């Protein structure tokens, strides 16, 4: 789309993951498989936790919310990229691009806050068991989840407002498969240095801060169980190790992407695929499906569905 300096961009062109026909078919197959696993895995966990009274502890309440967020988070980007790979239609309206950016950061930052709350829940359960029931009561859990959503909304609203203040008069080609701050802000027809630093401070510091709190929480748990060699503590240690792997997989690409001005280094769209597609696909396995209680509940759910 040809644009002069006085015109306003009305749509962007998403270049996607590849222009090669064979690679497009491969990416379509992989993303479709990953998205299907995200939907089925997280939906199964959501239904299982919601329908089984035995899974009423704060941990499973938070896991249920994580599953819902994972479904929403992947659905912001995956369906559109699948349609683009299948049809070859790469254009997205300006309003659609801003909406995708808003919901991506809204759900993504809410998930970051929720993962931090989940680490706090595990810390209280393992390191402060006598106070756990009082602190992590159902009302407190609802308040924490509401705070995660509210924090995500505020963060995303700030990002979107900053983007809408920028003029876009061309070019309109985005070297990615979805609209996000780093690739879009490079297309602005203005000096974006201050805006880039503000956005890096917003998204980057949230990612880094939540990650450091998570690591500190799990470090305290490790220090607590290290001196106690028992089956229960070894199980807790194994669980914490898998959780650390999951949050590292999610947070490190986000920190790399957002904790710097957009123009300093190019953002790899393949790095973005780690936290938009791969991490939500692995969360059900890492956080929930390793639990014997959840497996038993799924078997009960299966029996109820058959009868």
Give the model's pLDDT for residue 48: 87
CA distance 148 to 198: 21
Cα angle value 176/111/100 (rounded, 5°): 35
Give yes or no for residue 11 having a pLDDT over 60.
yes
CA distance 194 to 200: 10
Mean pLDDT of 162-181: 88
Give the model's pLDDT for residue 5: 43
Q: Is 11 helix (H, G, I), strand (E, B) or coil?
A: strand
Residue 174 forms beta bridges with which residues? 14
Q: Of 176-180, 256-260, 274-278, 288-292, where does mean pLDDT reach its minimum?
A: 288-292
- pLDDT tens digits, one per residue of 21-41: 888 889 999 999 999 999 998
Which residues are CB-neighbours of 130 under 8 A, at least 6 positions away? none
What the block records as the tokens of 188 is 């602005």
Comparing CA positions, the residue from 267, 289, 291, 271 lying closest to residue 279 is 271
Mean pLDDT of 274-295: 79
Give the model's pLDDT for residue 2: 40
Residue 13 forms beta bridges with which residues? 91, 173
The pair phi, psi for residue 261, each rounded to 5°, is -60, 150
**Domain assignments of the chain as residue spans, ordered by start:** 11-299
pTM exceeds 0.95, yes or no: no
Give yes or no for residue 258 having a pLDDT over 50.
yes
Topology (CATH) of 11-299: Rhopdopsin 7-helix transmembrane proteins (1.20.1070)
When the pLDDT of each residue in the chain is averaged and rounded to a whole number, the result is: 84
Cα angle value 95/39/78 (rounded, 5°): 35
Comparing CA positions, the residue from 269, 272, 214, 222 lying closest to residue 247 is 214
What the block records as the tokens of 49 is 């936790």
How many Cα atoms within 13 Å fall on the side-chain side of residue 205? 7
Comparing CA positions, the residue from 252, 179, 183, 241 lying closest to residue 212 is 252
Give the model's pLDDT for residue 262: 60
**Which one is predicted more confidently, 68 or 190?**
68
Comparing CA positions, the residue from 247, 248, 266 lying closest to residue 257 is 266
- pLDDT tens digits, one per residue of 217-251: 888 887 777 766 555 556 666 667 777 888 888 89
C-beta of residue 94 within 8 angstroms of C-beta of residue 167: no
- Helices (H), ranges, 136-278: 138-164, 181-185, 193-199, 205-226, 231-258, 269-273
At residue 161 the predicted structure's pLDDT band, cuts being 50, 70 and 90, is very high
């Amino acid at each position: 789309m040809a644009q002069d300096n006085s015109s306003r961009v009305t749509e962007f062109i998403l270049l996607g993951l590849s222009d090669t026909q064979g690679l497009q078919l491969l990416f379509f197959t992989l993303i479709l498989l990953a998205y299907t696993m995200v939907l089925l895995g997280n939906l199964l966990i959501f239904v299982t936790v919601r329908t089984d009274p035995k899974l009423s502890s704060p941990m499973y309440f938070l896991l249920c919310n994580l599953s819902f967020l994972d479904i929403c988070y992947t659905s912001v980007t995956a369906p559109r990229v699948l349609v683009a790979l299948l049809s070859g239609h790469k254009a997205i309206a300006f309003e659609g691009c801003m909406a995708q950016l808003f919901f991506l950061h809204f759900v993504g930052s809410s998930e970051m806050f929720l993962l931090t709350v989940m680490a706090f829940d595990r810390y209280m359960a393992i390191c402060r068991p006598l106070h756990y029931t009082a602190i992590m009561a159902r009302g407190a859990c609802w308040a924490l989840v509401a705070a995660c959503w509210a924090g995500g909304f505020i963060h995303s609203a700030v990002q979107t407002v900053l983007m809408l203040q920028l003029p876009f008069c061309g070019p309109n080609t985005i070297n990615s498969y979805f609209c996000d701050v780093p690739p879009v802000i490079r297309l602005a027809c203005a000096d974006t240095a201050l805006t880039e630093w503000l956005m890096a401070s917003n998204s980057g510091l949230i990612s880094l801060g939540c990650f450091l709190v998570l690591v500190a929480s799990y470090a305290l748990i490790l220090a607590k169980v290290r001196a106690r060699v028992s089956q229960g503590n070894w199980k807790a240690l194994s669980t914490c190790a898998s959780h650390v792997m999951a949050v590292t997989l999610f947070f490190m690409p986000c920190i790399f992407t957002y904790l710097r001005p957009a123009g300093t280094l190019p953002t790899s769209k393949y790095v973005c695929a780690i936290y938009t597609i791969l991490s939500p696909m692995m969360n059900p396995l890492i956080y929930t499906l390793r639990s014997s209680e959840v497996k038993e509940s799924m078997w009960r759910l299966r029996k109820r569905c058959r009868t």
